């Protein structure tokens, strides 16, 4: 049904940073870790909807800027003891180009 959509180059995102992809489903946050792994999450913290794309990225987590919840980038799960999950999207990187599956 859906296809891989080319959204840009890995260098468009700073290391330990994130960029937003605007879509009909809402904003999607694309993260780049220190090891250049790319992850995609719906840009809404499961707690109170804070924009995760604006948080500080560390290890394989991001800290939500509103109330400091820590969200795992790969699974979207909140780090215990907080409970909740942000929607994840599939991404893949080919020769530096990032593709997203909506």
Partner 1 sequence: MKEKLVLIGNGMAGIRTLEELLKLAPDLYDITVFGDEPHGNYNRILLSPVLAAEKTIDDIILNDRQWYADNNIMLHTGMRITKINRGQRTITAEDGTETTYDRLIISTGSSPFIIPVPGSELEGVIGFRDIQDVDEMLDAASKYKKAVVIGGGLLGLEAADGLVKQGMDVTVVHLENTLMERQLDSAAGALLKSSLEERGLKFLMEHQTEALLGDKRVEQICFSNGLQIPADLVVMAVGIRPNIELAQSAGIHSERGIVVNDTLQTYDPRIYAVGECAQHRNITYGLVAPLFEQAKVAANQLAQLGISYYKGSITSTKLKVSGIDLFSAGDFQQSDDTEELLYQDPGRGVYKKVVIRNNRIIGSVLYGDTLDGPWYFQLMRDGIDITEMREKLLFGQVSIGDSGHSATDHISAMPDDAEVCGCNGVCKGDIVNAIIDKGLFTLDEVKLHTKAAASCGSCAGVVEQILASTVGSDFTISPAKKPICGCTEYTHDEVRATLVKYELKEIRAVMDFMEWKTPDGCSKCRPALNYYLLCAWPGEYVDDARSRFINERVHANIQKDGTYSVIPQMKGGMTNAAELRAIADIADKYAVPEMKVTGGQRIDLFGLKKEQLPAIWADLNAAGMISGHAYGKSLRTVKSCIGSRWCRFGTQDSVTMAVKLEEMSWGSWTPHKFKMAVSGCPRNCAEATIKDLGVVGIDSGWELHIGGNGGIKVRATDLLCKVQTEAEVLEYAAAFMQLYREEAHYLDRTAPWIERVGLTYIKQCLIEDGDGRKRLAERFLLSQKYAQIDPWRARAEGKEAHEFAPMIEVVD
- Which residue ranges make up the site for partner 1 (CB under 8 A)? 5, 7-8, 12-17, 19-24, 27, 30, 34, 48-51, 54-59, 61, 63, 65-66, 68, 70, 81, 100, 102
Q: Closest separation between CB of residue 69 and partner 1, Å?
A: 10
Residue with tokens 């913290």: 45
Cα–Cα distance, 67 to 48 (Å, whole number): 8
Decide whether 15 or 90 has the Cβ nearer to partner 1. 15
What Rg, from alpha-carbon coordinates, does the chain have? Answer: 13
Of the two residues 23 and 85, which places its CB atom closer to partner 1 in the complex? 23
Q: Are 60 and 30 in contact (CB under 8 A)?
A: no
């Amino acid at each position: 049904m859906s296809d891989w959509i080319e959204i840009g180059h890995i260098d468009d995102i700073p290391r330990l940073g994130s960029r937003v992809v605007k879509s009909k489903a809402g904003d999607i946050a694309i993260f780049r870790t220190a090891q250049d792994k790319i992850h995609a999450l719906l840009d809404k913290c499961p707690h109170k909807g804070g924009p995760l794309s604006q948080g500080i990225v560390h290890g394989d987590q991001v800290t939500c800027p509103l109330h400091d919840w820590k969200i795992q980038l790969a699974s979207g799960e909140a780090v215990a003891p907080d409970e909740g999950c942000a929607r994840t999207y599939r991404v893949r990187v080919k020769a530096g180009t990032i593709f997203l599956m909506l």
